[in-house]
Structure 1
């Protein structure tokens, strides 16, 4: 259930309000780290909608408790609350001040001793106002007051946090145009922070930010300088800066960008600081992502290498298949020719799986796309002069490569067996079905594959085999194909296989395969 569910129960709030709160909670770690504070989002348990409040705005009922909807702790300092508060009620002594802040729509600071928790010395209530309506109340819980032996870094961080909270109170932050999510390499407060003034000049650089810029090749005093005058020259004469660089380094737009020099790659994020009438500076976060990008490049290189290997294996298997075809044409006995043609068909099936993997960016295979063509081809090759219809039911979905190859071989053999022995020389239909079953207490999810025909039938009771029993010697009327099927099902697929008469005539073969937990 979404944490905005209490708001959704009231007609006072709309989808834009929910999304804005989700955007805030998705990015409020920034404020928590800057303010060295726990942030708690709460909503009144007893809410009076606008229609019944008498003044056209919804509000908490007198004496209503406030339920915690979300809670975040700082990564830059100790937490106030060691236990998660979501779902709990804030202390009763806070209900009155929180209701007053809700109605007044202005932040209110409660001095030491007003909050709950270990060592909480100050609580600030920040109503979150959007389009003239309070949506919820954000409480800021800190262990000590700003200014008590605080360093320059702490003072700048807390001042920036206060500005962002004031913007949140006015509905100006977060901005819907800002990037969301913790994208790989996204900078955080602890990675490096830079404050800019209204003229885009640096007024403070954290030690980590200073180190990142020096690795980029920017030396000397940074305070008072404009980053747009320093960063592009440090990238080298041949570099072409991204078009987002200027809006980010000047703090004009809430965007992200990344620059790469000869020694380092740095990711920047801009958070403009403003009120309703003017912009008075910006916060820039920066992070050295050199190692991350090197690993990303290695991963891309490895993925390309794996795809190239699959491509070469496919080519080699196709060469083997072509050699078997040439050899089969030279055979003078029908049995030898048939045996080589079957071997050629099996090699071609494995080659088809590697061809699919060579075109994929993952080690999973869209098995439906792969097997549909192979299913029809197997039926045609098994009886080129016979009228055999094929039908597919259900979906296999994506399967890992370790299952795709043996399963494709199993289906190929079962379809061939259904055409050659099930239908004989008569026309008929071969059906391939797939069904996934969810996990149970006895085991994980499974894939059931059914190959059936409407031929003469097996003429004997159902037979089910799995495990060591599947490695028996071939029985009467069984050839190499059935031995391959039993062996692959038991060893490679860790599954079971069952032969049974089909209702309405014919044979039905069911293969059950164990799948990995999602």
Structure 2
């Protein structure tokens, strides 16, 4: 359930109001850190609709309690509430002050006596006004710390928190125009902050912020300098300052950007500060992400190396397959030629798995495209002068590479066996059907995805016999007429796929081979 559901249930509020609250709660940790206090988002339990309200706007009913919809604790100081306040009901004097703030639409301070049911500290109530109506109230509960004089940094932090809360009261923050960056390394209050004036000059820079710019190559202090001019003097890896970065450094747009030199990288985020329609300056968050970017580069390099290894393994396997094909052409005995062709088919099946992995970042494979090609390849290789059709239905999803290789080999052997024996010297159809059973959970709590793979042919059939093998039953000497392929199938199904295999007559004639495979959920990727 979304925390905005109570607001959505009131007809006077629309989806835009709920989305704006989502933006606020997604960003208000910054306000809690700057204000050294807890934030609570409160909404009345009883709302008088605008059509019935004396003010013409939706307001809380007389004596209405308030529900806490969201709660944020500061990382820069102690919390005011030891328990999670989400879902708590606020009543009494505290609810009265919340209703007063809602109706008056003004930021108010509630004394300890009015808020004693929740906390004994000073509380600031901020009605969130959007489209000329209040949609919720935020409370900031902080320790006033009368026993000592606050530092310069604490004063700036409090000033910035108050500025953001005033903008929230006016409905100008958060801004729907904010751009998000999918890359890691979003700056936080503790990473470093700057206070810019309307001209982009740095009025205050925290010690962490100064250290970040020093690592980028700044010499001297940054306070009193225009940040855009400072950035132009840094040895940036990109020439000059591009048009995306400039508005961030000037504090005119609520965007994120990144500065990078040969030795360091830093992410920046600007939040323009306004008093009504007038921009008064900006809050700039900065974070040193040098080590984070170095690790990202290592991961990218590692991924590229793994993909290159899979590509080279695929090339080597294709070379082996080609050599086996050449050698089979020089064989004079049918038995030797068939053995080499079977080996070539198995090597090609493994090569296709590595080819898929060479195009993937993850270590699992989208197996559906791969198996369709594999079934066609197995049929074409095994059939000589026959017209054998193939059908594939159902989806495997993604499989880990080890399981994908085993499934590809098993399917390859059974399809080749169906063409070579069941459809020997005749035309027909080979069909592969994939179905998913209900997950299995072991006594140890391990969850397995269970997939059933049926390979059907409409050939001569195997009589009425039903053969089923799994686990240790699969490890037996080959029966009369069984070759290496069936030994491979039984071994892989029992050991690698943790399942079983069953041969039975197919409906309408022919043979149906049903394989049950189990894949650990933690490894199986997306289904």
Distance 1:171 1:131 in 2: 8
Match of 1:503 in 2: 507
Deviation at 1:205, TM superposition (A): 0.8
Deviation at 1:486, TM superposition (A): 1.0
Match of 1:122 in 2: 122
Match of 2:251 in 1: 251
Match of 1:187 in 2: 187
Distance 1:181 1:138 in 2: 27
Match of 2:525 in 1: none
Deviation at 1:159, TM superposition (A): 0.8
Distance 1:14 1:32 in 2: 27
Range with bigger deviation, 71-80 or 89-98: 89-98
Match of 1:361 in 2: 361
Deviation at 1:6, TM superposition (A): 1.1
Counterparts in 2 of 1:34-433, with a 5 A limit? 34-115=34-115, 120-144=120-144, 148-180=148-180, 183-235=183-235, 239-433=239-433
Q: Structure 1's 347 and 192: CA in aligned 2 closer, same or farther, altered over 3 A?
A: same
Distance 1:146 1:170 in 2: 30
Q: Structure 1's 92 and 39: CA in aligned 2 closer, same or farther, altered over 3 A?
A: same
2:461 aligned with 1:447: no
Task: Check the 8 A contact 1:241/1:259 in 2, yes or no.
Answer: no
Distance 1:119 1:136 in 2: 20
* Aligned partner of 1:473 among 474, 477, 480: 477
Deviation at 1:461, TM superposition (A): 4.0
Distance 2:519 2:92 in 1: 51
Task: Check the 8 A contact 1:434/1:448 in 2, yes or no.
Answer: yes
Q: Structure 1's 401 and 36: CA in aligned 2 closer, same or farther, altered over 3 A?
A: same
Distance 1:389 1:357 in 2: 28
Distance 2:207 2:309 in 1: 46
Deviation at 1:227, TM superposition (A): 1.0
Q: Structure 1's 496 and 117: CA in aligned 2 closer, same or farther, altered over 3 A?
A: farther
Q: Structure 1's 435 and 146: CA in aligned 2 closer, same or farther, altered over 3 A?
A: farther
Range with bigger deviation, 384-393 or 32-41: 384-393
Distance 1:238 1:13 in 2: 46
Range with bigger deviation, 260-269 or 161-170: 260-269
Match of 1:459 in 2: 463
Deviation at 1:440, TM superposition (A): 4.2
Q: Structure 1's 117 and 61: CA in aligned 2 closer, same or farther, altered over 3 A?
A: closer
Q: CA RMSD of the aligned region, Å?
A: 2.0
Instruction: Give SS of 1:342's match.
Output: helix
Task: Check the 8 A contact 1:40/1:70 in 2, yes or no.
Answer: yes
Distance 1:183 1:262 in 2: 19
Range with bigger deviation, 157-166 or 108-117: 108-117
Distance 1:446 1:363 in 2: 20
Per-residue deviation, residues 261-289 of structure 1 (Å, max 9, x unmatched): 23211111101100222011101011111
Match of 2:489 in 1: 485
Q: Structure 1's 236 and 14: CA in aligned 2 closer, same or farther, altered over 3 A?
A: closer
Distance 2:144 2:453 in 1: 65
Task: Check the 8 A contact 2:180/2:255 in 1, yes or no.
Answer: no
Q: Structure 1's 475 and 264: CA in aligned 2 closer, same or farther, altered over 3 A?
A: same
Task: Check the 8 A contact 2:180/2:256 in 1, yes or no.
Answer: no
Instruction: Give SS of 1:224's match.
Output: coil
Per-residue deviation, residues 179-208 of structure 1 (Å, max 9, x unmatched): 347841111000000101122111111111
Deviation at 1:20, TM superposition (A): 1.0
Deviation at 1:60, TM superposition (A): 1.4
Deviation at 1:4, TM superposition (A): 1.0
Gaps of 5+ in 1: none
Instruction: Give SS of 1:268's match.
Output: strand
Distance 2:238 2:410 in 1: 57
Task: Check the 8 A contact 1:91/1:116 in 2, yes or no.
Answer: no
Q: Structure 1's 430 and 244: CA in aligned 2 closer, same or farther, altered over 3 A?
A: same
Distance 1:135 1:462 in 2: 69
Task: Check the 8 A contact 1:114/1:122 in 2, yes or no.
Answer: no
Per-residue deviation, residues 368-389 of structure 1 (Å, max 9, x unmatched): 1111111112122221322222
Deviation at 1:144, TM superposition (A): 2.5
Gaps of 5+ in 2: 523-527
Task: Check the 8 A contact 1:81/1:117 in 2, yes or no.
Answer: no
Instruction: Give SS of 2:361's match.
Output: coil
Q: Structure 1's 170 and 387: CA in aligned 2 closer, same or farther, altered over 3 A?
A: same
Number of residues of Structure 1 aligned to a counterpart in Structure 2 = 518
Q: Structure 1's 148 and 338: CA in aligned 2 closer, same or farther, altered over 3 A?
A: same
Q: Structure 1's 90 and 517: CA in aligned 2 closer, same or farther, altered over 3 A?
A: farther
Deviation at 1:325, TM superposition (A): 0.6
